[in-house]
Every structure is written in C-alpha cells, then in structure tokens.
Amino acid sequence: MPPRATLIVLGVLFGAFACRGAEAPAQTPLATAPPAATSPAASQHPELLKAKVLATFPHDPKAFTQGLVWYAGKLYESTGQYGSSSLREVAPKTGEVLRYLPLEPRYFGEGLALAGDRLIQLTWQEGTAFAYSRDGFAPRGTFGYSGEGWGLCYDGQRLVMSDGSDRLTFRDAQTFAPQGGVNVTLEGKPLLDLNELECVDGAVYANLWRRDEIVRLDPASGRVTAVVAAAGLLADADRPGTDVLNGIAYEPETKTFLITGKLWPKLFEVVFVPR
C-alpha cells in the first residue's frame, strides 16, 4: 500500500477510536442510574384516600370525644374536659349511653384502648392512666407516666400512645412501662399533632389535631403510608358548637371504621377508598 494511502487509513481508524472514546462517558451514567420508580423520594409518597360514608348514626353532642373503641357490637368512649370527663359504653346505632362512669373533676379524660378484658384510659396532663374491667367498669388499677396523654390503642401485644408530638411510645400492656417508640414522618418530614389512635392489622391510624385528616402509618418505621381526607362529613346545620374531628374505632366484622368528633351530633360508618 502506498505511504499516503496508509496514512489516510490510519487517520480514519484513529478518528473512529477517538469518537468511540468520547461517547463512552456519556453512556456510563445511563447504565448505572436507578429507575425513577425505586427512588427514595418516590417510595415515601403516601396513598391518598377519602372517607366514604356508608351509614350515619346519632351521637351525644355533649360528648367531648377523646377515645373510641369497638367491641362485640358496642362502643366504648372516653370523653374529656375538666368536670365532665367520663368513660362510657354506647349503643352505636342509637347513640344511647348504656353505662356511664364520671372521672373526678381534676382529671381530663383522653385516649382509650381495650387490652384483653381491660379498658385503659389516659388523662391529658395528670400523668395517670386508669384501668377498668370491660364488663362493668370495675377499677383495675392505675398507671403513672410522664408527659401528656393524647391517644392510645392496643395492637394485640403492646399499647401504642401519642402525646401530641410526632412521637409514638410503645408500652407494656400489663405494667404500662415504656418499651421504646418511633418518630412519625410524612414524606420524610416530622408529622406533629398525632391524636386519637386505632391499631388495625399491624398499622396505626391517627387523627391529626385541628385537621380533617386521618393518617395510616407503619409503626415499625414511623412512615405515613396513607392520608385519608375526612372533611365535609357534618352538614352545615350540624356544625355550630362542634369541635375537631376525633375518634376512630374499627369494626373487624364488617371491616369498616366508625369516626366522629368532639361534640359532634353524628357518628359515621365509613370505608377508606382512593380519592
């Protein structure tokens, strides 16, 4: 091959290798970038649900609802306010109060949980939890704790307690001793004002104080996995004199929820469905 032809061929080959070398770095990030669907930010987005009303029942408009529990066709309710706090057994479809136990005026009733055959009722700032027999409300002892008491539920093994912050505390169901806890986050940020709680199938549902929303969260990680919109349940005519949404009870027989609010005249049977 003549020298000039050889130089031309070598020049072409060198140019081809140079072009391939320039293209390689541009391909590398595409090969190593993770799929968008598995990014941490995407995995933190909660489901967006809403409360679909199946039935509406009467509720005592004088009940400042703080805790709500369903068991065997009856509701157990803790009410608040100094001088009018109580523990109640209620017929859910009529709102009739079947059993009523007032608290001493110095106590402000808060969250309520059923652990076995015992009802455990929190107080707001008094650092005292009361235990009662489910049948008859006979006293079964008291427990002391530090900080405020807001919501309480029982997951079958331990109690889960809120104090109005982003923190849930786990407690021994027999001794009320703390057993650790978890900080709750919504899309990676702390979620404050956790109020009334309900434990359902390994998840925890929580009212958010002063918001018409309920969240579902994973108690292992604290991550909110769903946000339930619950605005507009009460008609405008029922709104005067009422306070915030509060009170969640789960009915396992029908897989529905019963929800109400402080001083609400209505109790709603709902399911949570996609918005």
Average pLDDT over residues 57-64: 98
Q: What is the pLDDT of residues 67-106, one digit of tens each?
A: 999 999 999 999 999 999 999 999 999 999 999 999 999 9
Domains of the chain, residue spans? 3-33, 47-274
Average pLDDT over residues 207-234: 97
Q: What is the pLDDT of residues 10-27, one digit of tens each?
A: 343 334 333 333 333 333
Over 70: is that where the pLDDT of 39 sits? no
- Can you give the pLDDT at residue 43? 59
Q: What is the pLDDT of residues 135-174, one digit of tens each?
A: 999 999 999 999 999 999 999 999 999 999 999 999 999 9
The residue whose two tokens read 């307690």 is 161
Architecture category of domain 47-274 in CATH? 7 Propeller (2.130)
Average pLDDT over residues 244-255: 97
Q: What is the CA radius of gyration of the chain?
A: 28
Over 70: is that where the pLDDT of 31 sits? no
Over 70: is that where the pLDDT of 226 sits? yes
Percent of the chain topping pLDDT 70: 84
Model pTM score:
0.84
Higher pLDDT, 44 or 210: 210
Question: Under a CB-based contact definition with an 8 Å cutoff, are residues 64 and 77 in contact?
Answer: no
Average pLDDT over residues 49-55: 98
Average pLDDT over residues 262-274: 98
Q: Tell me what the pLDDT averaged over the chain comes to.
A: 88
Over 80: is that where the pLDDT of 35 sits? no
Q: How far apart are CA 100 and CA 153, in angstroms?
A: 21
